[in-house]
């Protein structure tokens, strides 16, 4: 097999062994297990075996299956859009701000729309941060404003203008039926309708967010899981410096 062509492996390299799990609206019994196997076969697994099953409630059950896939992927054909600049430490970011900006930078953030989950935005903005990494409130040279959850797009923009924000941060956790896509698209449309898109660096984050999606939706950057305040701030301060340089050249 070509070294750039790969398959999943479980016991031996490229044996195609995979594990999958799902729930079905059927009772947890022999009939339910057979339904799970049939579903796995429809999904392309060979020789599926149910290794775990449990009842969720009346008429609903959960299954874990093992099986084999014959599909392979070519690593040479994979393209990933990533944030280009290198992340700096908190101290490096503070020094960068001190050397390049005359006033503190204003970062304003929220979980928008119907999203009430604030764990993500709190991890980036609140002083204590997350997993030993301080949030933006602790950074010298940054004024961090956390609006919390369930903030309407119009309210976020209004508060950003009022605070003379440099950076807008949006966290999206609720993603059922792609509601996050609709909400994020609406915010960019709002900025453009108000002729404010170029006024801010706009960054989004969440478990199902990546830089490629962010750029596609019209944002400056996107950060997924396992990203911290220093990742976001590193991108933002460099983007702001480039923005200011371009502004001076256009004067």
Domain assignment present for 84: no
Percent of the chain whose pLDDT exceeds 70: 98
Residue pair 55/34 in contact (Cβ under 8 Å)? The answer is: no
Residue pair 188/218 in contact (Cβ under 8 Å)? The answer is: yes
- The single residue of 4, 86, 128, 140 carrying the catalytic annotation is 128
Residue 96: give its domain's CATH number. Answer: 3.40.50.280
Residue pair 62/56 in contact (Cβ under 8 Å)? The answer is: yes
Closest CA relative to residue 226, chosen from 87, 117, 110, 35: 87
Q: Which residues contact 104 (CB under 8 A, 6 or more apart)?
A: 97, 141, 142, 143
Domain region containing 16:
5-74
Is the pLDDT at 128 greater than 60, yes or no? yes
Is the pLDDT at 206 greater than 60, yes or no? yes
Residue 20: give its domain's CATH number. Answer: 3.30.30.60
Dump pLDDT digits (tens) for 140-170: 999 999 999 999 999 999 999 999 999 999 9
- Pair (56, 171) in one structural domain: no
Answering whether pTM is above 0.85, one says no
Question: How far apart (Å, rounded) are the C-alpha atoms in residues 123 and 114?
Answer: 19
Which tokens in the block code for residue 12? 């031996």
Which tokens in the block code for residue 192? 């453009």
- Pair (56, 149) in one structural domain: no
37 is catalytic: no
Residue pair 36/62 in contact (Cβ under 8 Å)? The answer is: no
pLDDT at position 85, please? 78
- Pair (19, 111) in one structural domain: no
pLDDT at position 1, please? 47
- Pair (43, 127) in one structural domain: no
pLDDT at position 207, please? 86
- Pair (192, 220) in one structural domain: yes
Is the pLDDT at 218 greater than 60, yes or no? yes
User: Could you tell me the pLDDT band of residue 82, with boundaries at 50, 70 and 90?
Assistant: confident
User: Could you tell me the pLDDT band of residue 41, with boundaries at 50, 70 and 90?
Assistant: very high
Q: What is the mean pLDDT of residues 173-195?
A: 89
Question: How far apart (Å, rounded) are the C-alpha atoms in residues 219 and 207?
Answer: 16
Largest CA distance in the chain: 74
Strand-pairing partners, residue 53, are: 63
Which tokens in the block code for residue 131? 């997993």
User: Could you tell me the pLDDT band of residue 2, with boundaries at 50, 70 and 90?
Assistant: low
Residue 3: burial class (beta carbons within 10 Å; 0-12, 13-18, 19+): exposed
Total residues found in the chain within this entry: 251
Domain assignment present for 83: no
pLDDT at position 251, please? 65
- Pair (25, 103) in one structural domain: no
Residue 181: burial class (beta carbons within 10 Å; 0-12, 13-18, 19+): middle
pLDDT at position 124, please? 96
Domain assignment present for 150: yes
Domain assignment present for 85: no
- Specify the higher pLDDT residue, 136 or 5: 136
Domain assignment present for 204: yes
Dump pLDDT digits (tens) for 92-114: 999 999 999 999 999 999 999 88
- Pair (94, 67) in one structural domain: no
Residue pair 71/1 in contact (Cβ under 8 Å)? The answer is: no
Residue pair 21/15 in contact (Cβ under 8 Å)? The answer is: no
Is the pLDDT at 115 greater than 60, yes or no? yes
- Pair (52, 100) in one structural domain: no
């Amino acid at each position: 097999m070509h070294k750039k062509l790969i398959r999943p492996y479980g016991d031996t390299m490229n044996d195609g062994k995979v594990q999958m799990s799902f729930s079905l609206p059927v009772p947890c019994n022999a009939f339910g297990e057979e339904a799970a196997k049939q579903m796995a076969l429809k999904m392309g697994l060979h020789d599926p075996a149910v290794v775990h099953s449990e009842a969720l409630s009346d008429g609903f059950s959960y299954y874990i299956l093992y099986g084999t896939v014959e599909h392979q992927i070519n690593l040479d054909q994979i393209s990933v859009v990533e944030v280009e600049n290198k992340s700096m430490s908190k101290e490096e970011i503070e020094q960068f701000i001190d050397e390049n900006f005359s006033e503190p930078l204003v970062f304003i953030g929220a979980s928008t729309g119907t999203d009430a989950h604030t764990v993500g935005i709190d991890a980036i903005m609140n002083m204590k941060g997350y997993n030993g990494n301080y949030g933006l409130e602790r950074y010298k040279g940054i004024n961090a404003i956390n609006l919390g959850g369930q903030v309407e797009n119009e309210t976020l923009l209004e508060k950003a203008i009022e605070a003379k924000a440099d950076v807008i941060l949006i966290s999206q956790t609720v993603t059922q039926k792609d509601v996050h896509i609709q909400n994020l698209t609406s915010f960019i449309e709002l900025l453009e309708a108000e002729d404010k898109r170029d006024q801010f660096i706009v960054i989004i984050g969440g478990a199902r967010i990546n830089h490629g999606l962010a750029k596609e939706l019209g944002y400056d950057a996107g950060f997924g899981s396992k990203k911290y305040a220093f990742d976001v701030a590193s991108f933002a301060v460099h983007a702001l410096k480039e923005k200011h340089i371009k502004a001076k050249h256009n004067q």
